[in-house]
A and B are shown apart, each in its own frame.
Chain A
Amino acid sequence: QQQVKQSPQSLIVQKGGISIINCAYENTAFDYFPWYQQFPGKGPALLIAIRPDVSEKKEGRFTISFNKSAKQFSLHIMDSQPGDSATYFCAASGNTGKLIFGQGTTLQVKP
């Protein structure tokens, strides 16, 4: 019940395309859903986050869509660029602050 399942494991997108990464969770007590971006040899950095009282949040080219009834949320990267090539992690937490991470998606954006 504590798991967060992320897919796909890897993704190749052409420059200018849309990258979509999906996550699903079980625990209905989760109320904070961040996405992290990680470059090789670096720690994850917060990209965008959403709480379940909204269905969508957009920041620049990055959008989170949230479906509370389905217990799913997704990251959309519009106009994907080679600089977006990284590993992306979804996560979920409740009021303890403990994050449960998905397994990660390695994104490659081809020029």
Chain B
Amino acid sequence: DGGITQSPKYLFRKEGQNVTLSCEQNLNHDAMYWYRQDPGQGLRLIYYSQIVNDFQKGDIAEGYSVSREKKESFPLTVTSAQKNPTAFYLCASLQGGNQPQHFGDGTRLSIL
């Protein structure tokens, strides 16, 4: 089955620690996105990549970093500079143009 796999489902971060969230897709989509979801605030765009080896900042990129070395993979690192990392993180992919974005089932990050 084609889809987007996010791992882990739950993640805990210690103070001063960087953590990396995995996102893999087998849909052969060109574009991939990372969103942060907080209660009552909808989804906010962190980073996106429309092609391998290229990515752009979204609306709330501070404290996060990404890489896009392979078409199917778009990992997100939550750095120690992100002071309020507790949230539900969603990865999505898109074939191109105005087509629907497909979402993974998310990673819930909490602070220890």
Using a CB–CB cutoff of 8 Å, the interface residues on chain A facing chain B are 6, 9, 31-32, 34, 36, 41-46, 49, 51, 89, 93, 95, 97-99, 101-104
Contact = CB atoms under 8 A, between A and B. Distances in A.
Nearest to A99: B101
Contacts of A102: 42
Contacts of B98: 31-32, 51, 93, 95, 97
Contacts, number: 59
Contact of B97 (A44, A46, A95, A99): A95
Contacts of B33: 98-99
A65 B22 CA distance: 37
Given A42-B106, A97-B99, 18 more contacts: A6-B42, A9-B40, A34-B100, A46-B101, A49-B100, A51-B98, A95-B97, A97-B31, A97-B50, A97-B96, A97-B97, A98-B48, A99-B43, A101-B43, A101-B44, A102-B42, A103-B40, A103-B41
